[in-house]
Amino acid sequence: MPKETFLVNRVKSVGFALRGALLLIRTEASIKIQVFLALFMTGLGFLFQISNTEWMMQIFAISMVMGIEGLNTAIEKICDFIHPDFHAKIGLIKDVSAGAVMLVSIGASIIGCIIYLPKFF
**How many domains is the chain built from?**
1
d(CA 77, CA 93): 12
Report yes or no on 106 lying in a domain.
yes
For residue 7, is pLDDT > 80? yes
- How does residue 94 score in pLDDT terms, banded at 50, 70 and 90? very high
The pLDDT, as a whole number, for residue 33 is 93
User: Contact, 24 vs 74, CB < 8 A?
Assistant: no
Closest CA to 79 of 99, 66, 97: 97
Average pLDDT on 25-50 reads: 95
For residue 42, is pLDDT > 90? yes
d(CA 46, CA 44): 5
Report yes or no on 5 lying in a domain.
no
Report yes or no on 79 lying in a domain.
yes
The pLDDT, as a whole number, for residue 4 is 86
d(CA 2, CA 76): 37
d(CA 39, CA 72): 21
The pLDDT, as a whole number, for residue 87 is 94
3 backbone dihedrals φ, ψ, rounded to 5°: -70, 140
pLDDT above 70 covers a percentage of the chain that reads: 99
User: What CATH number has the domain bearing residue 103?
Assistant: 1.10.287.3610
The boundaries of the domain holding residue 52 are 29-120
The pLDDT, as a whole number, for residue 63 is 97
The pLDDT, as a whole number, for residue 95 is 97
The pLDDT, as a whole number, for residue 2 is 72
